[in-house]
Amino acid sequence: MIVPLIKGLQITLKHLFKKPITLMYPEEKPDVAPNFRGLHALKVSHNKAKCVACYLCPTVCPAKCITVEAGEDANHDKYAAKYEIDMLRCIFCGYCVEACPVDALGMTQTFELANYKRSDFVFTKERLLEKK
Ligand code: SF4
Ligand code: SF4
């Protein structure tokens, strides 16, 4: 009777002084793996988005959550007049990033995407543009 009790107490004491594996989130943030697939970012080059509105990313997206509308600038270059990702539908597979022929899209380590309104999960071009 007393032996199992002592054994149990030993296990409890052993774990009591171990480094905790839980974090006091949100005060403490977890270390995110370098290849973590979080929120997308539209990359910028020469002060403008690199996206050339080729429509490859919305085509490969299995969740069909990317909306692109092409525009033409003063130099007759194609650009994304509208670029939106609905994060409520995104499954963070990364296919869009792989498909991009001009390396215009990346995925960041941002994982805190909670919000209150459905509309706040639609990330517009302005919200996705790479923050320097
Ligand atoms: S990560 Fe996958 S699901 Fe999300 S937008 Fe890209 S292709 Fe679509
Ligand atoms: S694949 Fe790249 S260039 Fe083409 S629409 Fe998507 S982000 Fe833009």
Q: What is the pLDDT of residues 82-100, one digit of tens each?
A: 999 999 999 999 999 999 9
Higher-scoring residue by pLDDT: 17, 71: 71
pLDDT confidence band for 104 (50 / 70 / 90) = very high
Q: Is 49 in the pocket of ligand 2 (CB under 6 A)?
A: no
Ligand 2 contact, 44 CB (< 6 A): no
CA-based nearest residue to 65, from 47, 40, 46: 40
All domains of the chain, ordered by start, with CATH?
38-128 (3.30.70.3270)
Atom 8 (ligand 1) nearest CA: 61
For residue 39, give both structure tokens.
Answer: 């929120």
Q: What is the pLDDT of residues 16-67, one digit of tens each?
A: 888 888 899 999 999 999 999 999 999 999 999 999 999 999 999 999 999 9
Q: How far is the CA of 67 from the centre of ligand 1 (A)?
A: 11
- Probe target for ligand 2 pocket from 95, 102, 107, 123, with the most ligand atoms within 8 Å of CB: 102
Does any ligand 2 atom lie closer than 6 A to the CB of residue 129?
no
State whether the Cα torsion 82-87-93-94 is positive or negative.
positive
Q: What CA–CA distance (Å, rounded) separates 13 from 92? A: 41
> What are the Cα distances from residue 52, in Å, to 44, 80, 101?
11, 6, 9
Helix (H, G, I), strand (E, B) or coil at 33: coil
CA angle (40, 87, 44) in 5-degree steps? 25
Reported pTM: 0.85
Residue with CA nearest ligand 1 atom 6: 96
